[in-house]
Amino acid sequence: MELVQESPYRFRIDRAAPMRVPGVVFAVPELLPEVGTDRALDQVANVATLPGIVDASYAMPDVHWGYGFPIGGVAATDVADGGVVSPGGVGFDISCGVRLLTAELDRAELSRVLDPLMDGLDPAVPRGMGRGAVWQLADRAELDTVLRGGSRYAVEQGHGVPRDLARCEDGGVVSDADPEQVSDRAVQRGQGQVGSLGSGNHFLEVQVVEEVYDEPVAAAFGLRLGQVCVMIHSGSRGLGHQICTDHVRIMERVMPRHGIEVPDRQLACAPVESPEGRAYLGAMAAAANYARANRQLLAEAARRVFARVAGTGLDLVYDVSHNLAKIEEHERDGGTRRLCVHRKGATRALPPGHPDLPGDLRDAGQPVLIPGSMGTSSYVLTGVAGNPAFASTCHGAGRVRSRGEATRAARGQDVRRDLEGRGVAVRGASRKGLAEEMPEAYKDVSAVVEASRGAGLCRLVARLTPLGVVKG
């Protein structure tokens, strides 16, 4: 595939039938997917064929191959012009995202309690593939309440404080959730997992603010140099996975009825305004509420350990998803258009002054939370005006090795010892799990963030480094 470099941080894939729009990749050459081994760029072009797509099929600097859409893909479709919604444009881990909290501790104070703190977090954070959760729900009816109420319901039940909702995307709850569109199988998979970390690249990290790039914005976010933080990366667990599976199958069956053809069956889709489109969006919103409640309960588990061991609370900086489709209004062609914006492995990044921001963040912009690969830096960014990709930016480092490739590369290497040699305390991770998520399996997160900044997608606020990690 031929890429045309338009600027130091932007490449173009020219439109060719059946593409409806061009592809745009925000990156520098060393971050581009390797042609022949990673077909992410082919997926960027395939996404450009979706009915109703506007402007371009976008890819973030952390782009890599995914299901249908590339991970790091952004696409908006015009609802009034037959625009579609595609479950592959959200992914299996619906509303997977990141939550960042701050403690009233600095690095020196933490060093005295880090080991007992990590020993406390280890049993307090359920994780792995199976059951086990902080919150034991009574029955299907209570799960439905979680699916409708998200973090708001969790806080109402005593699992958090009102400020948590102000500092969560959408105030902690997506309003158009429809639990009736969630299958019994999805319910079974999600019933016992509210307040659990999962496996893979999900984690709970104890971090420190290593560097501040924008002090006024950092102060507005509640961050200062040397401060201890907790970052939580998790999503909707088995419930979200099953919802994606169920609705891909439904849309595969109905595409001919809507006159839709796609070059890859994994791009199965339906018009946003169709019964199938509305059903998926209702189920997706329910999974998003589940994911937010999940991170809310994990945060509460961490708060209890910090209070008991370190004598400090944890304040929420922000909680934001990076696997979601949202109906948004954007200015295009001299007017306001209602768009379905798919962000898969991409983070919404609202600029200063945006009406969806809480009042105390309106002048600073939205906190954007970018986790690094295990053992490397994570970043806090903020949104900027004039973002060329529907107020979206990167979501992390982006894989360059599959889990199998990483495991083979780690043979003879003690990843746990390597991490502890870097000053990172590790709890709960299996040898195989650590090998799959070794830092060398990912792109350089600092380069990804710099390319995002250079492309006009965000602004840097702070860099965080890990001191301890809890993994599945």
Q: Which residues are catalytic?
A: 395
Report the C-alpha gap between 395 and 343 in whole angstroms: 10
Nearest alpha-carbon partner for 66 in 413, 432, 398? 398
Nearest alpha-carbon partner for 460 in 395, 381, 399? 381
Report the C-alpha gap between 407 and 413 in whole angstroms: 10
Report the C-alpha gap between 299 and 163 in whole angstroms: 13
Q: Is 113 exposed, middle or buried (0-12, 13-18, 19+ CB in 10 A)?
A: middle
Q: How big is the CA angle at 408 (ends 405 and 412), to the nearest 5 degrees? A: 150
For 108, residues 6+ apart whose C-beta sits below 8 A from its C-beta are none
Determine contact, residues 398/64, Cβ cutoff 8 Å: yes
Return the sign of the alpha-carbon dihedral for residues 382, 385, 387, 391. positive
Helix axes 275-310, 114-124, angle to 10 degrees: 140
Look-up of token digits 């910090």: 306
Return the H-helix or E-strand segment holding 119. Answer: helix 114-124
Give the Å distances, CA to CA, from 246 to 47, 183, 195, 219, 311. 21, 8, 23, 44, 45
Determine contact, residues 438/430, Cβ cutoff 8 Å: no
The distance between the two most distant Cα atoms of the chain, rounded to a whole number of Å, is: 64
Q: How big is the CA angle at 343 (ends 135 and 41), to the nearest 5 degrees? A: 130
Rg of the chain on CA atoms, in Å: 21
Determine contact, residues 230/213, Cβ cutoff 8 Å: no
Side chain identity at residue 325, one-letter code: A
Residues paired with 26 in a beta bridge: 10
